[in-house]
Amino acid sequence: MCVLPADADPDELKDGRAFIAINELDCMVDADKNKGVMTVWGDLYKNPFTAGFFGVPQNAVYDAVGDLDAAHKAIDTGIAQFVLRDGGDHLYESIKALNWMNVPADAWHPATRGDQTDSWINLLAVGIGPAGTPLVGEVTDSATVEFVEVRAFGADSASAVAASLSESLDPVVGPNTLAFAGSGDTTVAAFIPRLSKLDMSWFVPAREAYDALDWESKLMRHAWLLDLGVLLCEPSTRFEGVGGECLLGCACWVVVPHLAIRGEVEQLELSK
């Protein structure tokens, strides 16, 4: 689980690091890309997030409270409440639903673990009480939203939240609304599964910020595979068309198209 970038983040955080982080996760979680990493580097670099990966948006919460520190506190509280409420049942049910959606209908079985595709980002929008609704502003207009589920705890706002999400995201199925009794502060959570990095409105600006960095700055912002001498988001210096610049003067690379790492899908399709 991670908290996604916010439009209100300080300028020093809008330096392309989100582009690197999302691509490192993309090459872990997307089964095809992860196989391309393991082809060179082995099972040690196999996807560690097999149950699913949740991204928590910030923009709507910030818009509601008008202060980044207050938004962070509200989001932290919302995450903790969702994860711990009712002994973790709601987190478990969301993960279980993810597995159903990742297994083809003709191969579905309760014991089957579905491979995740490039649509591995599952948004978990946490609410901030009855005065706010967990709307999602981080999804591009071109994204196809397959499903939305709204869970309201001790609140009557589920239908209003569902209506707002239906209008803004236009999901193929849903929003499905579930209401639960709750004590303490009323909260709302919205679950939007199976989005890709290209569906995130901040992805292209993060890529542009990354491209503006000098080589040393790019190096300092990478993390995964760096111990192997691989700069994931740069093109391979040994094999044309794939990612993973070699820092050690050897054959370091990953069997993942560089255009797929950059998210330039249309160019990738045209080159085939």
Model confidence band, residue 270 (pLDDT cutoffs 50, 70, 90)? very low
Tokens 């409270």 — which residue? 65
Question: Is 95 part of a structural domain of the chain?
Answer: yes
Domain span at 139: 2-25+43-199
Pick from 199, 228, 255: which residue ends a domain?
Answer: 199
Same domain, 60 and 134: yes
Interatomic CA distance for residues 192 and 180, integer angstroms = 19
Residue of 205 and 265 predicted with greater confidence: 205
Question: Is 110 part of a structural domain of the chain?
Answer: yes
Same domain, 14 and 147: yes
Residue of 238 and 124 predicted with greater confidence: 124
Least confident of 27-41, 155-169, 240-254: 155-169
CA dihedral 96, 101, 106, 110 (to 10 degrees): 0
Q: What is the rounded average pLDDT of the residues 218-222? A: 96
Same domain, 220 and 190: no
Same domain, 48 and 116: yes
Q: Where are the beta strands (DSSP E) in the chain?
A: 2-3, 53-56, 121-126, 147-153, 173-180, 187-195, 230-235, 243-246
Same domain, 181 and 219: no
Same domain, 188 and 225: no
The domain tally of the chain equals 2
149 φ, ψ (degrees, to nearest 5): -130, 135
Question: Is 162 part of a structural domain of the chain?
Answer: yes
